Chain A
Amino acid sequence: MSVVPDRDVALVDLLDRLLTGGVVITGDITISLADVDLVHVSLRALISSVETLIEQ
Chain B
Amino acid sequence: MADSVVYLYAVTDAAPAEERTDEPVLAGVDGVPVRRVVSGDLAAVVSSVDPTRFSEEALRRSLEDLQWLERTARAHDAVVAGVARSGPVAPVRLATVYLDDENVHALLDERAAEFTAALDRIRGRTEWGVKGFAVRSEGDTSPQVTEDSKPGTAYLMRRRAERDRAARGLQDAAEAAEAVHQEMSALAVASRRYQPQDPRLSGRHEEMVLNVAYLVNEAGAEALRRLVGQQGGQNLRLELTGPWAPYSFATLEEQA
Contact = CB atoms under 8 A, between A and B. Distances in A.
Interface string B69-102: 1100110111101100000001111111111000
A20 B194 contact: yes
B66 A47 contact: yes
B interface, size bucket: 35 or more
A53 interface: no
B11 interface: yes
Given A4-B27, A17-B247, A25-B107, A9 B55 contact: no
Interface stretch (B144-152, B155-163, B171-179, B195-203): B195-203
A12 B77 CA distance: 13
Consensus secondary structure, chain B interface? mixed
A21 B249 CA distance: 8
A12 to B, nearest CB: 4
A1 B218 CA distance: 32
A21 B247 contact: yes
Interface stretch (B56-64, B133-141, B219-227): B56-64
A27 B26 CA distance: 22
A54 B218 CA distance: 43
Contact of B93 (A1, A3, A11, A22): A22
A23 B108 CA distance: 13
Contact of B27 (A3, A12, A50): A3
Q: Which 9 A-B pairs have the closest CB atoms?
A: A17-B247, A22-B93, A21-B247, A2-B24, A29-B97, A18-B94, A28-B99, A12-B201, A27-B96
Interface of B: 5, 8, 11, 24-27, 31, 33, 54-56, 59-60, 63-64, 66, 69-70, 73-74, 76-79, 81-82, 90-99, 103, 107, 111, 115, 118, 129, 192, 194-195, 197-198, 200-203, 211, 213, 241, 244, 247-248, 250-253
6 contacts: A4-B81, A11-B73, A18-B91, A25-B107, A31-B63, A51-B200
